[in-house]
Structure 1
Amino acid sequence: MAAAGRLELVVVRHGVTQWNRERRYQGQRDIPLLLPDALAGLDTLRGELEEQTFDAVHCSDLTRCRQTLAHVIEGRERAWPTHFDARLRELDFGDYEGRTYDELKSQPFYRAWIDSEGRQPPPGGESTADLGRRLDAWFGDVLGACTALGQRRVLVVTHGGVIRELRRRFEGIGFWQGDVVQAEGRRFTFSMNEEGCWQCSSSSAVPAPASATP
């Protein structure tokens, strides 16, 4: 396990779906994985995580994340407490869900949403500030369990927009720079500073890139 005063969040995106292949906005639609096509990525992710243990698991309550979690921790389902949490759902894309960029690109409201980097909510949906507020509440609970229960390594299965928002927050990168592909993610390491506050000290890719060979 990770040492006291240190927290690791292993945050991964669900496997590929039919709507991913069609480049449709999924948002909070409950779209399942595209099987068997999703298995290659899920198998790679399972291999990456199979030697790791966790103090807790947090997962979006949507089907594609539940299926991803079931595959990557198969046989270890009862090893750690698991929390299915609606706060880890994808950004609500409102009227844009089920539609593609090509279908929307000529609409002024859509262009304004793109240009605002999500600060403006899509019609009937959430802004990035809305997403940030529910992630703040969730992360506060994670830190509370870290302090109260000694949880030091946590697995999180969620969505691309959530990971992008976490990367923007913890890595300080631009909104459009934080994409991760399906069945991949980030490992965030947090350390407690002298004032007793948690700070992100590192971020790396999951699965880890293969070492370069001579």
Structure 2
Amino acid sequence: MVAVDRLELVVVRHGLTAWNRQRRYQGRRDIPLLMPDAVPAMDRLRHHLADQDFDAVYASDLTRCRQTLAHLSEGRTWPVPGFDARLRELDFGAYEGRTYDELKDLAGYRAWIDSQGESAPPDGESAAAMRERLSAWLAEALATAEAERHRRILAVAHGGVIRELRRRFETVDFWEGSVGQAEGRCWSLAYSEGEWQCSCSSAVPTPASATS
């Protein structure tokens, strides 16, 4: 039996950027937040997390995630974060900086869309490669949680990261796994039969319709 057999994993997406607003693929491009436009959604997320403590905090090393974490953690005594390139967005390769309207008539782009990201875009990364690095990060984070008796973990990452984790923990369809900026998921994990399994999941922050 592991030292800790239950924990919560909260993973949230970074705040709004100019490329989000323009609906451009960002991927590995180090695009900063669009200020002050990004603040309202991040404030709502910050309020949701106001009374929550975390035993470990992680984030993608890209600027938009660093800025989001700084906003969420200001004035709080959260642990020193671990910035990790394995939490970066999918590398969209030749499609980065471009929009759907610019790409929609390209046969290669249509094939990539139809594959639900399983094939790699030109000079980019496949979903399988992304899952491999995410699995390595998750295994390490969970091993640390077991060893150090962590109960709650926070990670600030990207939409594609959350989409892949939702496919893993919630078995949702690729197209149903997206979340908005400064939104994410909370997964309750239980250690059973030699592995961590998701017992339930919920939206972060709680949708307004659910609290009214």
- TM-score normalised per structure 1: 0.95
Matches within 5 A, 1:84-123: 84-123=83-122
Root-mean-square deviation over aligned CA pairs: 1.2
* 2:52 counterpart residue number: 52
* 1:201 counterpart residue number: 199
Paired residues of 2:57 and 2:78 also in contact (CA < 8 A): no
- 5+ residue gaps, structure 2, are none
SS at match of 1:155: strand
Paired residues of 1:91 and 1:131 also in contact (CA < 8 A): yes
Paired residues of 2:14 and 2:68 also in contact (CA < 8 A): yes
SS at match of 1:32: coil
* 1:17 counterpart residue number: 17
- CA distance in 2: counterparts of 1:196 and 1:25, whole angstroms: 38
* Pairwise CA distance, 1:147: 1.1
SS at match of 1:10: strand
* Pairwise CA distance, 1:82: 1.1
* Pairwise CA distance, 1:52: 0.2
SS at match of 2:122: coil
In the alignment, does 2:75 pair up with 1:75? yes
* 2:148 counterpart residue number: 149
SS at match of 2:41: helix
* Pairwise CA distance, 1:128: 0.4
* 1:189 counterpart residue number: 188
Q: Which amino acid aligns with 1:14?
A: H
Runs in 1 of length 4+ with deviation above 4 angstroms? none
- CA distance in 2: counterparts of 1:172 and 1:4, whole angstroms: 25
In the alignment, does 2:166 pair up with 1:167? yes
Residues 81-107 of structure 1 show CA distances to partners (whole Å, capped at 9, x for unaligned) of: 310000000000000000000000000
Paired residues of 2:33 and 2:64 also in contact (CA < 8 A): yes
Q: Which amino acid aligns with 2:92?
A: F
SS at match of 1:201: strand
* Pairwise CA distance, 1:119: 0.8
- CA distance in 1: counterparts of 2:67 and 2:137, whole angstroms: 21
* 2:43 counterpart residue number: 43
In the alignment, does 2:124 pair up with 1:125? yes
Residues 109-168 of structure 1 show CA distances to partners (whole Å, capped at 9, x for unaligned) of: 000000001111000000100100000100010111111111110010000000001001
* Pairwise CA distance, 1:50: 1.1
